[in-house]
Amino acid sequence: MPPNTTATTGDTATTGAAPAKSGRKKGRKARLIVLVLVLAVIGGIAFGAYWSISTVRASFPQTKGSITLQGLSGPVDVKRDGNGIPQIYASSDEDLFMAQGFVQAQDRFYEMDVRRHMTAGRLSEMFGKSQVKNDEFLRTLGWDRIAGQEYDTKLSAATKKYLQAYAKGVNAYLQGKDGKDISLEYAALGFTNDYKPEKWTPVDSISWLKAMAWDLRGNMQDEIDRALMTSRLGPQQIQDLYPEYPYSRNKPIVQEGQYDELTHSFQQSGASGASQNTGTTGTTGTSGTTGGATGGSAGSTGTTGSSTSTTSGSSLTSQLAGLYNVLDDVPTAVGVNGQGIGSNSWVVSGKYTITKKPLLANDPHLSASLPSVWYQMGLHCRSVSTTCQYDVTGYTFAGMPGVIIGHNANIAWGMTNSRVDVTDLYLEKVSANGYLYDGKIRPFKTREETIKVAGGASKKIVVRQTKDGMPLLSDRDDELVQVGKRATVNTAAPDRGDGYGIALRWTALDPGTSMDAVFALDKAADWSDFRQAAALFDVPSQNLVYADTDNHIGYTLPGRIPTRSSADDGSIPAPGWDSKYRWTGFIKQNELPYEYNPKRGYIVTANQAVVDKDKYPYNLTTDWGYGARSQRITDLIESKIKDGGKISTDDMRQMQLDNSSEIAKLLVPKLLKINLDDKNVRDAQKLLEGWDYTQESDSAAAAYFNAVWRNILKLAFGNKLPKELRVKGQCLWVDKIDSTGPVDDDTKVRECGERDADQAQPDGGDRWFEVVRTLMEKPDSDWWKTPKSGTRPPANNMDQLFRRAMIDARWELTAKLGKDIDTWSWGRLHRLFLKNQTLGTDGPKALQYVLNRGPWKLSGGEATVNATGWNAAGGYNVVWVPSMRMVVNLADFDKSRWINLTGASGHAFSAHYTDQTSLWAKGELLPWSFSAKAVDDSTSDTLVLKP
C-alpha cells in the first residue's frame, strides 16, 4: 500500500516585534529605504545608457563590405538573409570552415565561450565561487580530457584539419578585441572580474558533443529515481510506475525489413549477443539532438541569491558587484532532463506526397534557451571537387564546424533521441584502500584537479576512478549519495555501512569518432554513404531518418551500445563488486536495426521503442518513451494517405503543430460522468463537453483539463513519492521511515521536496499516461486512495479521487486565472519565458531585463506532437519546446521550410536576437534557400572575407 501522506499548506511563523523606541528612528529608516530606491533608479538609467551608447554598438558584427583574414587561401562570401542567417561560399574546405568559425564567433562567441568553460569544468573562472560545485562534477566526468584523447588518437587527419581551420576563424575574430567589443555580457563581467577570453582550440569544439551526449545519455535518471523510490515504495509499487511498453498499441520504429532478417540469422547461428563494436571506416555520421541539460543539471549547486554591495561606488557598480555569486546552475544550455524530453522526426515516401519525392520533418525537443542551442547556416563550395567537398545547409551548434541536421544536394536527414541505455550506475563498496572487486580491494586511479575561482582562492579536488575508467560520481553529487544509502541489494552484498559509492559507466567516457561522422554525413551522397557515416557516430546514439532525391527513405540506429549479461538489464544501479555485472561488449554496427524503403511508405521516430522486444536479440533499454507522440503522427499520416490522398509540405508543418492530447481522450469521458455537488465545479466540468481534445492557447477546456490531470497525478502519486523526487519546498506530513522503510506506528514527520520544479516527479509525460491507463483497470487500487485535506474530501477509489482532482483544479485555476471561467485560457497558464542562460537567469534585475524576453502564450502540451512541455509536478510554464522545426522537400530544396526558436544572433539588442520566436510560436516556417539563385534572391547583406 502506498504510504499515507497529508499535504500541508506551509508553515507560518509569528514573531513579536518590539515597538519602535522613537518616531525619529522610524523616519530615519523610511528615508534610508527611499534613498536606496532612488539610487536603484539612477543605477538603472546609468546601466541602460552605458549599454545603448557603448557596448551594444561595439559588439555588433560587421555584415557588409570586406574584412581581411590572415590564413585564407581565397576570398569567401558571407551572404545573410533578412533574418541574419548566413550562407557561406568558398573555394576550399579549409576556407569554408575557417569562415564558419569567424561568422559564428561574430554572432555567438559569448555563448561559445560559456559552453567550453562548462564542458571543461571551468565556469568558476568566469562566474566565481557559485560554480565550484558544477566544476567539481564536470571535472570528475572529464569531458574535455576525453575530447583531447579523441583529437589525439581517434579522429581522421581531414577532421583535424577542419577543426584547426574552424579554430583559426574564431581566433581571427577575437584578435585585437576586448570583452566589451565581443558582447555586453563581457562588459557586465568586467565590473567584477578581469576575465579575458582565450583562444579557441579544436578540443573546445569536440567537447560540446560530450555535453550533448550527457543530456541524451539514456535512462540514468530513471535508475536514480527507482533507487530513491525504495525508501517509500515496494517493488510492485515501483513496477506500477514503470509499466511495460504498449507494443500492441504504439508501434515501434522498425516494423518490417532488415531486423527481422537479422533476427532469423541470429537464431540460425546461435549468436550470443556479446559482440564487439568494430565500427566501419567510411563517410558520414551525425550528431543528435534532443535532449536536454548540460551544465545546469550536471552538478549539485545551491542557490546563493543575488548580493548587493553596500560599499561606496556608483549604483550601477553596486548592482554588478556580486555578479559571480548569483549565477546558479549555469548554463542550462541544452536542456532539462525529464520524461517529456524527446523529439519528432518522420519521412514520407514520394508515392504518398504531392511532389512525388520524399518529405522529411524534424523538431528536436530541448529546453528553452536564449539564444537557441541551434544555429542555422549554409556551407557551400562554389564548385564541389576533391579540394572543396561540401554543399550543405541546416542546423549546427555555435562552436562546432559542419552541419548536424539538414540536407545537402542529394540527401536529407533528421534525428531524435533513441533513448537506448548507454549508461550504468554501479554501487561500489569503498574503503580507505580502494574499492571491492571480485573479493579483492583494488586501488582507485586518482588525479588532482585545480579549480580556479574568479575573485577567490583556487580549490583542489581529487577525482577517483575504477580500473576501467569509471569516475566515482558520489564524491560530487548529493543525490547519488542518497542512492548509495538506499539502493536495493541482495543478501550477499557487502556491508553497506554509511552507504555505497556510485560510479558511472558511460560510452561517452571512451574516446570516439563522432566528430568524423559530422563531416562525413555532410557530404554523403546516398544510402550507403549515410549508413557508413552513421557507424562513425558512436555517442550519443540517435534515431536517424533519411531521404534522398532518388526517392528512397530509410532509418538507422547508430551508436556504441553496450551488451550486458543476463544478470543485469541496466534498469537499476548494479553491484560493482561483482564482475558478472560488467558490460560484456558492444553491439556490432551491422547488427543494429535499420529500415530501407519499407512497404508502408513512411517511417516515424519520436522516442518510442526502436524494435519489438520479442523480435530482436538484444536488450536496448528498459526505458523507452511510451509512444504517444509517435502513434499520433502515424495516425495523422495514415489519415492523409487513405483513399489515395497525398501529403504536401504544409501538411507536414500542420502535423508538427498537432495539439491533440492523448490522455484527455482517455480521461475526459470518465470525468464527464463524475457527479459534482458544487455548481462552480460543475461549470468547469461543462467546459469539457464537446471539447475536441486540442490544446489551443485560447482554450478554456484545455486549461481546466490540464489542471485536473496535474491534480490527479499529485493526489494519486506525487504525494506518495519520497522527498527526493518531489518539488523543492512542497511539504507533506508523511509516515516516518527508518533504514528498513516506513515505520508502521502512525508516526508522522514533515518532509519537504528537494527537486527543482522542472525535474520533479510525476512530470506528466507519456509514462504517466500509461501508468494511469493501466491503473484505471483497477479502480480500487491503493494508488487511488488519498486522505482528507482541509475541506477537501478523502478518496477511497478512482472515481472519488477524480472528483477530488476536479474540485482542486477548479479552485487552483480560480486562484490563478479568476473565478469567471469565461476568462480562462490555456495560454495564460502555459507560457514561454526565454532567459539568457547565464546573466539572464540569476543576475541583477537590470541585466535580466536587458537579456531576457517573453512571455509567449503557447498552444500544445505534454507528450503531444506540438510538444511544448510542462512539468505537472512543478506547474504549467513551458520547460521544453520544439527547439527548431524543419520540413525538407526533396523534389525542390528551395521549397523546404525551417524556423529556429530564437534567432541567429546572441546579441541582446540585435534585430535577430528573437526575430523568429513569434513566428515559431504561431507555427510558421521561413523559406529555406539552398540553390545559388535562391540564396542570392534572399540575400540582404554580403560580407567578403579576403586573404
> How would you write 251-312 as a 3-class SS string?
CCCCCCCHHHHHHHHHHHHCCCCCCCCCCCCCCCCCCCCCCCCCHHHHCCCCCCCCCCCCCC
CA angle at 479 for the pair 716 and 126, rounded to the nearest 5°: 125
Contact criterion met (CB below 8 Å) for 437 and 427: no
679-697 core/surface letters (b: 16 or more CB in 10 A; e: else): eebebbbebbeebebbbeb
Beta bridge partners of 889: 359
947 CB neighbour count, 10 Å cutoff: 12
Contact criterion met (CB below 8 Å) for 484 and 502: yes
Per-residue pLDDT at 738:
66
Locate all alpha helices (DSSP H) within 51-92, ordered by sequence.
56-59
Per-residue pLDDT at 7:
46
Tabulate helix, strand, coil % of the chain (nearest 5): 35, 20, 45
Contact criterion met (CB below 8 Å) for 852 and 859: no
Please state at what angle helix 202-215 crosses helix 157-174, rounded to 10 degrees.
100
Residues 6+ apart with CB under 8 A from 291: 212, 215, 216, 334, 335, 337, 341, 342, 343, 365, 366, 417, 540
Length in residues, the chain: 947
Q: What is the mean pLDDT of each run of 10 residues along the chain (947 residues)?
A: 49 37 42 38 46 66 97 98 98 98 98 94 92 93 96 98 98 94 88 88 94 81 93 96 96 77 40 36 34 31 33 38 45 44 92 98 93 96 97 98 98 96 96 96 97 95 96 94 92 92 95 97 98 95 97 97 91 95 94 96 97 91 95 98 96 98 98 97 98 98 98 97 94 77 74 92 96 98 95 95 98 98 98 88 79 96 96 95 97 98 96 98 98 98 98
Please state at what angle helix 628-641 crosses helix 662-671, rounded to 10 degrees.
100
872 CB neighbour count, 10 Å cutoff: 26
Contact criterion met (CB below 8 Å) for 323 and 307: no
Q: How far apart are CA 295 and CA 121, in angstroms?
A: 9
CA 277, distance to chain mean position in Å, is 27
Per-residue pLDDT at 190:
80
- The amino acid occupying position 931 is S
Per-residue pLDDT at 275:
38
Give the containing element (helix H, strand E) for 178: none
HSE on the CB side for 923, CA within 13 Å?
19
Q: How far apart are CA 120 and CA 604, in angstroms?
A: 36
Burial bucket for residue 425 (CB in 10 Å: 0-12, 13-18, 19+): buried
Compute, in degrees rounded to 10, the torsion defined by CA atoms 909, 910, 913, 915: 110
Per-residue pLDDT at 264:
43
Q: How far apart are CA 424 and CA 444, in angstroms?
A: 19
DSSP per-residue codes, 904-926: S---TTSTTSSTTHHHHHHT--E
Beta bridge partners of 605: 345
455 CB neighbour count, 10 Å cutoff: 15
Q: How far apart are CA 198 and CA 191, in angstroms?
A: 19
Residues 6+ apart with CB under 8 A from 232: 2, 3, 720, 721, 722, 734, 735, 737, 741, 742
Contact criterion met (CB below 8 Å) for 44 and 51: no
Phi, psi angles (nearest 5°) of residue 147: -60, -40
CA 846, distance to chain mean position in Å, is 28
Q: How many helices and strands in the chain, by DSSP H and E?
A: 29, 35
Per-residue pLDDT at 52:
52
Residues 6+ apart with CB under 8 A from 677: none
Contact criterion met (CB below 8 Å) for 663 and 772: yes
Please state at what angle helix 700-716 crosses helix 662-671, rounded to 10 degrees.
80
What are the cell numbers at 856?
509567449
Q: How far apart are CA 840 and CA 465, in angstroms?
A: 36
Residues 6+ apart with CB under 8 A from 819: 680
Q: How far apart are CA 393 and CA 289, in angstroms?
A: 16
- The amino acid occupying position 27 is G
Residues 6+ apart with CB under 8 A from 470: 426, 503, 504, 505, 509, 576
What are the cell numbers at 647?
501529403
